[in-house]
Amino acid sequence: MTSVVTTLFGISIFVFIVLRLIPGNAITSAFGTDTSALSPQKIHALKVYYGIDRPVVIQYLNWIKGFFTGNLGYAFHTGTSVAKLTENSFPVTLELALFATIIGVLLGTLVGIFSASKPGSRRDFFGQIFGLIALAIPSFVLSTTLVAIFADKFHYFPNGFEYAAPWSNLWMNVQQMMFPSLVLGIAVAAPVMRTARSSFLETQEKDFVRTAIGKGVKLRRVKFIHVLRNSLNPIVTMSGIQFGYLLGGSVIVEQIFSLPGVGRQVLQGILKREYSTVQSTVMLIACCFVLINTFTDIICRYVDPRIRDNG
């Protein structure tokens, strides 16, 4: 518990300081070059309005107190509270992260097992090539390639329409989530594949596997029951980490596919120099990441009784 509090406190300090190291503020963002024409009285009034007139320490204390009491601040460029803004954007990112994680975990685990089942063979070679390519290709390259191919060649780009929530238009929502989920799923599949392969290879060398084979248990049953089950912990841990990263908002992918998620919310906050929007959103993401890590530990204890017994 202490480490969690320390981590969140460190993140809050880091984000708060880094934002103020970026040149400009909400006033210069709103007025641009016309800022120099403003009178000192007008500038002071605007600083009071944006809440940046007080000393930095006071600003931090007011923000962190408001955050833990449910006041996330105000997003001036949208004319709404950050809480309301997050209420609308977080479900989008959550849905995208869930779809991408499911695709990535299934694809990565299958390729990892396929590759590890015959180490050093041709299938192992192609499996590792897949992992290397998936790890090396940037998400924005794959995203823009998909957009160029389907929008230009096939005149199909559902993300060109206004975002449709699943409860308002399920079919359109599935279409809009399909390509970004695939892009992020491939990115997730790479580390999951490498983890699955390493874990599978390590488990295959355990004594209980040799004993099962020696007793005449079918090789396929040994691999998919005994080996796979005892290889799940690293896969579950890696999947949880990747899901936490995706909840942080894939800024580039959300921007390319016009998804109003958390990533775009943070990006807009940075561009507009709205400190409350960025600070509060990043802190919410950090809290979610901590919860996901805790939930991942619980799943690992359930999957592996040895961890549960030691705990």
pLDDT in tens, 185-222: 999 999 999 998 998 888 887 777 777 777 777 767 77
Say whether pLDDT at 147 is over 80. yes
Which of 22-31, 90-99, 129-138, 184-193 has the lowest average pLDDT?
22-31
Give the count of domains, the chain. Answer: 2
Residues 214-267: tens digit of each pLDDT = 777 776 777 777 777 778 888 888 998 899 888 876 788 988 898 998 988 888
Residue 104 is predicted with a pLDDT of 94
Residue range of the domain that includes 58: 2-81
Same domain, 252 and 127: yes
Last residue of a domain, one of 40, 56, 81: 81
Q: Which of 50, 81, 112 is the last residue of a domain?
A: 81
What pLDDT is stored for residue 176 in this prediction?
Answer: 92
Confirm if 180 and 96 have CB atoms less than 8 A apart.
yes
Mean per-residue pLDDT, 42-53? 85
Convert the chain into a string of H (helix), E (strand) and C (coil): CHHHHHHHHHHHHHHHHHHHHCCCCHHHHHHHHHHHHCCHHHHHHHHHHHCCCCCHHHHHHHHHHHHHCCCCCEECCCCEEHHHHHHHHHHHHHHHHHHHHHHHHHHHHHHHHHHHCCCCCHHHHHHHHHHHHHHHCCHHHHHHHHHHHHHHHCCCCHHHCCCCCCCCCHHHHHHHHHHHHHHHHHHHHHHHHHHHHHHHHHHHCCHHHHHHHHCCCCHHHHHHHHHHHHCHHHHHHHHHHHHHHHHCCCHHHHHHCCCCCHHHHHHHHHHCCCHHHHHHHHHHHHHHHHHHHHHHHHHHHHHCHHHHHHC
Highest mean pLDDT among 27-31, 177-181, 231-235: 177-181
Q: Which residue has the tokens 């449709």?
A: 164
Q: What is the pLDDT of residue 182?
A: 94
Do both 22 and 119 map to the same domain?
no
Show the tokens assigned to 186: 């491939």
Together in a domain, 100 and 207? yes
Name the percent of the chain lying above pLDDT 90: 17
Residue 101: per-residue pLDDT: 94
Domain match, 56 and 95 both: no
Residues in contact with 165: Cβ distance below 8 Å, sequence separation at least 6, in sequence order:
91, 173
pLDDT band at residue 123 using 50, 70 and 90 as cut-offs: confident
Residues 277 and 208 in one domain: yes
Q: If you average pLDDT over residues 75-101, what whole number do you get?
A: 89
Within this chain, do residues 47 and 147 fall inside the same structural domain, yes or no? no
Asked if 39 and 183 sit in the same domain, the reply is no
Cα 42 to Cα 26, 35, 38, 267: the distances in Å are 14, 10, 6, 28
So what's the pLDDT on residue 305?
Answer: 62
Q: Single out the residue in 81, 107, 141 at which a domain terminates.
A: 81
Whether 33 and 91 share a structural domain: no
The Cα–Cα gap between 75 and 272 comes to: 9
